[in-house]
């Protein structure tokens, strides 16, 4: 990275963007990154509440492992950019809503739906990186698995004229 006076979020987004220049790969990421994020939320949501089931009296169906994991992830986003963490909070809440909705209406278990979404999305993502000619950023640093969704969110913020 050429500039050292950038905030950490700017550095991470810039570095992530280096391997996401091809227009086809970018479009693929706009669909697959949110799908992967949702599928991981859904898979974690599917884990039986067990030791945290006592919270269900207070939080209902949102007392689950996904909510707890997302709280930690949202704290990570907050340390990078408080405004960006708000957008990620809203997206995370939407993922929890859809996980709960699928659990209620679908005859197919949520975990099954999420495994299919996860696998198909990753295959398409790797195809996008083949087109790009560059390896996915997370192969260099695992934190880029969380930067991908923030990278997309920062474009939404820019489009709406919000600072991140």
- 8 Å CB contact between 81 and 9: yes
Rounded to an integer, the average pLDDT of 5-19 is 91
Rounded to an integer, the average pLDDT of 35-56 is 84
Q: How far apart are CA 110 and CA 78, in angstroms?
A: 29
Model confidence pLDDT, tens digit, residues 80-110: 999 999 999 999 999 999 999 999 999 999 9
Q: Which structure tokens are listed for 150?
A: 């923030």
Rounded to an integer, the average pLDDT of 9-15 is 95
- 8 Å CB contact between 100 and 94: no
Most distant CA atoms of the chain, gap in Å: 52
Rounded to an integer, the average pLDDT of 49-74 is 76
- 8 Å CB contact between 7 and 110: no
pLDDT at 1: 46
């Amino acid at each position: 990275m050429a500039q050292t006076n950038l905030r950490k979020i700017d550095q991470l987004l810039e570095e992530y963007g280096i391997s996401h220049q091809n227009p086809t790969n970018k479009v693929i990421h706009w669909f697959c990154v949110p799908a992967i994020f949702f599928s991981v939320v859904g898979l974690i949501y599917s884990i039986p509440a067990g030791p945290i089931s006592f919270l269900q009296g207070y939080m209902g169906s949102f007392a689950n492992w996904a909510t707890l994991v997302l709280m930690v992830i949202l704290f990570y986003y907050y340390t990078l950019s408080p405004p960006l963490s708000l957008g990620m909070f809203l997206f995370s809440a939407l993922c929890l809503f859809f996980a709960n909705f699928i659990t209620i209406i679908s005859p197919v278990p949520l975990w099954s739906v999420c495994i299919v979404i996860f696998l198909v999305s990753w295959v398409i993502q790797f195809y996008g990186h083949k087109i790009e000619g560059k390896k996915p950023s997370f192969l260099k640093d695992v934190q880029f698995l969380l930067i991908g969704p923030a990278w997309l969110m920062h474009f939404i913020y820019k489009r709406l004229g919000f600072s991140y």
